[in-house]
Amino acid sequence: MYYSDWDAFTKDFSKHFTLRDEQLSAITKLEGTSWYQGKDLVEDYIDCFQELIEVSEYSNDKTTIVKFRKGLDPGIQNRVALLGDLAPDFDDPRGWYKASRKVTWNKEANEAFLEAGRGGHMEQGSK
């Protein structure tokens, strides 16, 4: 096969090899556990997860949520799931991403508040 220019060749090459291999790699990765959040920041986890979902071309929001929750830090996942009426719907990935960020930010802000309170309490007791 002959190509009119380099761009035509690279486009055809990518269509036949690169995209399929990237998609297969993303799907395979999503079936394992190497992409789980672990000690990563929630922002990094969400970015990585969204890229995997995009490349894998998963289109079912419920499947996406199941995968997302499975890899999310269990403490964050539990807090989001237990938000009651404020919890995102089971078919709302963006809602889950947003709620996960919010829960993490609130936890960090609360920890900073408590730490500042402990420091202030200790200073008063040392007088």
Helix axes 74-81, 93-125, angle to 10 degrees: 110
Question: Residue 85 has what pLDDT?
Answer: 93
**Count of structural domains within the chain:** 1
Rounded to whole angstroms, the Cα distance separating 28 from 46 reads 18
Would you say residue 127 has pLDDT above 60? no
Give domain status of residue 109, yes or no.
Answer: yes
Would you say residue 89 has pLDDT above 80? yes
Give domain status of residue 42, yes or no.
Answer: yes
| pTM of the full structure | 0.74
Give the model confidence (pLDDT) of 9-54 as tens digits: 877 776 776 656 888 899 999 999 999 999 999 999 999 999 999 9
Give domain status of residue 112, yes or no.
Answer: yes
Residue span of the structural domain in which 60 resides = 16-125
- Cβ atoms of 15 and 34 within 8 Å: the answer is no
Q: Which residues contact 53 (CB under 8 A, 6 or more apart)?
A: 26, 30, 64, 67, 93
Six token digits for residue 121: 């309490």
Give the model confidence (pLDDT) of 65-79 as tens digits: 999 999 999 999 999
Count CB atoms within 10 A of the CB of residue 27.
14
Give domain status of residue 9, yes or no.
Answer: no
Q: Output the CA angle 25-22-37, nearest 5 degrees.
A: 55
Give domain status of residue 3, yes or no.
Answer: no
